[in-house]
Chains A and B, each alone.
Chain A
């Protein structure tokens, strides 16, 4: 049994990862909620967000904007705008035209779009095949509390991640557009009978979910200090798994699922011999157990109601 400090340390690291997973998962769950689709290029939208963020930071640096306090918020805004618009375009190209055909077609179309995004970054980003170093803009150093090292950088990532989640919660629960998103998720036709503009609501949902993926992308760059054009594959699978174990369609489920997945990965690494090699095996094994024993997810209701 590893010492308690190590477990706590790993749990903290897990929450760090989990925040990023949760931000990706919220997108998956929002898209599924409003349109009943799994948007398989969402992982690559996350990757695109990281590259858009990096480009923005490099551009700002070249333009003489050096301080993180200014550069970072601008980079977040730019990357969120880019992925938001790409997400809306993805929905209009890969989802809406296929609304009346088999869900398999949407699956294929979104998978293909993911490939296009990935290959585009590989080809068009300078030396796209190489991992790209990501600027370290967060405060360095840290403190030790009871044997657990807490880095300021990690606290900043947690703060940004949770701020994004709280913002989503506010948008969904307190705004007119959020009410439209919830109404469409529960009954699209009744929503329209109340005056909800379906197309605009779907656009807003894809913008919101994709912008969150950009936040996750930049946080990932800040955390790992590098980004790579294939990062969206794992990011997408994990984000989707997190959304599934949380209960597809439920935003809070996606957040819980993301955090759970991150903690599972890191505690598996601490508890099992050679665990860091097996962390994904353990985490995905738990996902499979969830799919078998609780297929509607932790907070999922939608699929239950459907049966």
Chain B
């Protein structure tokens, strides 16, 4: 579904990603685990064309994404829950959701899409007319996910959705990601929270200092030395 082959990026003289290759299998939940500053967000930003790779290729459903502009990339059918949520603060919940369907803007099934998001997140229906800035972190996280779903993406990218959420909310959010995946959306989940992530992911990759240092099924990753040492101590 999504493939990166030998992708490297630089920021000035510093190499941010070095020869990153990975593939997200269709219909699955893939994860990318790594500590702060390992290059997780850079990787997402590179997929989205915000950062331009200096080497390598990125393909989505077989077609090259690198060299395309951000809006052209998401138009291909990619939904994004960016790091820090990034909901539009002065827009209402409904306006934010509308922005999620920006590419098509007035699809015939707009009402159905809204209903579907409201069914997944009843809280958003209650807050329909409320400005996003006035909502709690958990509500904003739901809004960010709902917004990404409004475009009916075939691939959903989530960049640290659990960040700053209480454990019970993380639990709910991850259950929701699982539900979304079961309804047919491929998920690429970028996280620091390895324990929770490996509970729902099918396969994944480990990243450290900009390099992929491990890959495999969720069970393999959970059993690997790096993960057990670095993330699953507690």
Using a CB–CB cutoff of 8 Å, the interface residues on chain A facing chain B are 176, 179-180, 182-183, 186-187, 189-198, 301, 305
Contact = CB atoms under 8 A, between A and B. Distances in A.
Interface in B129-166: 133, 147, 151
B99 A179 contact: yes
Interface string B39-54: 0000000001010000
Interface in B186-211: none
B70 A193 contact: yes
Interface string B57-98: 000000000000111001100001010001111110001001
B88 A195 contact: no
B71 A196 contact: yes
B100 A186 contact: no
B134 to A, nearest CB: 12
B86 A189 contact: yes
A186 B90 contact: yes
Given A180-B102, A187-B88, A194 B75 contact: no
B86 A193 contact: yes
Nearest to A249: B90
Contact of A186 (B88, B102, B105, B151): B88
Interface size bucket, B side?
20 to 34
Contacts, number: 66
B169 interface: no
B90 A198 contact: no
Contacts of A180: 102
Given A176-B105, A195-B75, A197-B69, A189 B50 contact: yes
Contact of B82 (A176, A190, A197): A190
Contacts of B95: 179
Contacts of B87: 190
Majority DSSP secondary structure for residues of A touching B: helix
Contacts of B151: 194-195
Nearest to A176: B105
Given A186-B88, A187-B86, A189-B86, A194 B50 contact: no
B176 interface: no
Contact of A179 (B74, B90, B98): B98
B39 to A, nearest CB: 18
Interface string B95-121: 100111011010000000000000000
Given A183-B99, A198-B71, A193 B80 contact: yes
Given A176-B105, A189-B50, A194 B100 contact: yes
A204 to B, nearest CB: 14
A192 B98 contact: no
A74 to B, nearest CB: 32
A220 to B, nearest CB: 32
Contacts of A183: 88, 91, 99, 102
Given A187-B89, A194-B147, 12 more contacts: A176-B105, A179-B95, A179-B98, A183-B99, A190-B86, A192-B74, A194-B74, A195-B102, A196-B71, A197-B69, A197-B71, A198-B70
